[in-house]
Amino acid sequence: MLKPKRIGILTGGGDCPGLNATIRGVVKACYQLMGEGNIEIVGISDGFQGLINNHCKLMKPSDFYGILTLGGTILGSRRTPFRKMQLVEEDNVDKVAQMKNTYKEWNLDCLLTLGGNGTHKTANLLSEEGLNIIGLPKTIDNDIWGTSVCFGFHTAVEIGTEVIDRIHTTAHSHSRIMVIEIMGNKAGWLTLYTGIAGGADIILIPEIPFNMDCVIGAVQKRADSGKYFSILAVAEGAFDIDEANLKRKERTQKRAEAGETTVTARVAKRIQEATGFEARTVVPGHMLRGGSPSAYDRVLATKFGARAATLIQQEKFGYTIAMVKDEIVENPLAEVAMKMKFVAPENKEVVTARNIGISFGDG
Ligand code: F6P
């Protein structure tokens, strides 16, 4: 009798809707392609932390029932920064060696890593160390290089849009300036999409440093035309031109000194001071990552998962699944691992937004 294939699965980094749907997609497609009796799934707890500490368990087919719509991850997730992976001195733990040991001890034939940029870096490191790895791109930030979309992103856009819709009506009633902070430290995709979908007047993203005077000018211009409220969708990582040359730490420190803890606090304070209009901040935060995946993400997760199962069957490792021109493909992990996908200033959604009069605060 053939030895069953043993597949390890972990979810790394910040969670997002669609992780469970992807796990389910992989497992179901593996059962279909290779037969349930020929597959064993090993669930690894809390991302790479579970691999380092050998927190793994053999899963039953029933563990994957009813998880399509479930938010979060049934495996648990943790941030284990890539820069610390090869540092042994800090905690006296050879993390790479321990991960390799766990893989060996559990007789894994391959390891599936569901995660964002950090997860992809460590996945590539393990691949270079000789492990059979397949990556799957998740993140509400949608900033993984080589794929037009990551699962979790569209659900977060839906949630962010709903937030802006609800803020819109109250902003209008009270003639207030509402500055809404959207997750995304380095890339502004989520803010760009939710801003357009929610009808924001001003969108501020890290890729386009803004000029505070332009932002204030855009708010004032609306007021001059009789619109006494404004909606600003602001990425948590956005910064103005005065801050553009500062490192992130310096920026945070300077803001703290000025009593402006976040970019939204800074923008709201400056608008209120300059115009006299009441400006408030709203931070939906982790709400953007919570709950059930949208229909789009359920389909995407299932397609990504099914593709991963095909790679497992073909024993094609060292790749991560991607969407390119509407087709599900795989990119070499080594190509994806050290890059990120940013919003280019000439990006078509940016151009569309500008064409309908949305300001990016850049003049
Ligand atoms: O996973 C992506 C993300 O949600 C970013 O948009 C955000 O900056 C970060 O994670 C927040 O991470 P944490 O949940 O660890 O605070």
Q: Active site includes 143?
A: no
Q: How far is the CA of 248 from the centre of ligand 1 (A)?
A: 15
Residue with CA nearest ligand 1 atom 3: 14
CA 311, 312, 314 angle in degrees (round to 5)? Answer: 60
pLDDT, tens digit, 9 for 90 and up, residues 37-94: 999 999 999 999 999 999 999 999 999 999 999 999 999 999 999 999 998 888 889 9
pLDDT value at residue 1: 60
Which atom from ligand 1 is nearest to the alpha carbon of 288? 4
pLDDT value at residue 154: 98
Marked catalytic residue, from 15, 46, 141, 240: 141
pLDDT, tens digit, 9 for 90 and up, residues 285-315: 999 999 999 999 999 999 999 999 999 999 9
Which atom from ligand 1 is nearest to the alpha carbon of 190? 6
Q: How far is the CA of 216 from the centre of ligand 1 (A)?
A: 28
What CA–CA distance (Å, rounded) separates 345 from 327? 25
Task: With beta carbons less than 8 A apart as the criterion, state whether 305 and 317 touch.
Answer: no
pLDDT value at residue 282: 98
In terms of pTM, does the model score above 0.85?
Answer: yes
Nearest to 59 by CA among 33, 26, 34: 26
E strand segments, the chain:
5-11, 39-44, 56-58, 110-115, 133-137, 177-182, 202-204, 230-235, 279-282, 319-324, 327-332
In the DSSP assignment, the letter for residue 361 is: S
pLDDT value at residue 301: 98
Contact 185 CB / ligand 1 (< 6 Å): yes
Task: With beta carbons less than 8 A apart as the criterion, state whether 16 and 77 touch.
Answer: no
Residue with CA nearest ligand 1 atom 10: 14
Beta bridge partners of 43: 9, 57
Task: With beta carbons less than 8 A apart as the criterion, state whether 209 and 244 touch.
Answer: yes
**Tokens 């948590």 sit at which residue?**
236
What CA–CA distance (Å, rounded) separates 74 from 304? 18
pLDDT value at residue 13: 96
Beta bridge partners of 236: none
Contact 115 CB / ligand 1 (< 6 Å): no
Could you read off the pLDDT tens digit of each residue along the chain, which spans 363 residues? 678 999 999 999 999 999 999 999 999 999 999 999 999 999 999 999 999 999 999 999 999 999 999 999 999 999 999 999 998 888 889 999 999 999 999 999 999 999 999 999 999 999 999 999 999 999 999 999 999 999 999 999 999 999 999 999 999 999 999 999 999 999 999 999 999 999 999 999 999 999 999 999 999 999 999 999 999 999 999 999 999 999 989 999 998 998 888 999 999 999 999 999 999 999 999 999 999 999 999 999 999 999 999 999 999 999 999 999 999 999 999 999 999 999 999 999 999 999 999 999 997
The residue type found at 222 is R
Burial tier of 299 (Cβ tally within 10 Å: 0-12, 13-18, 19+)? middle
Which atom from ligand 1 is nearest to the alpha carbon of 13? 1
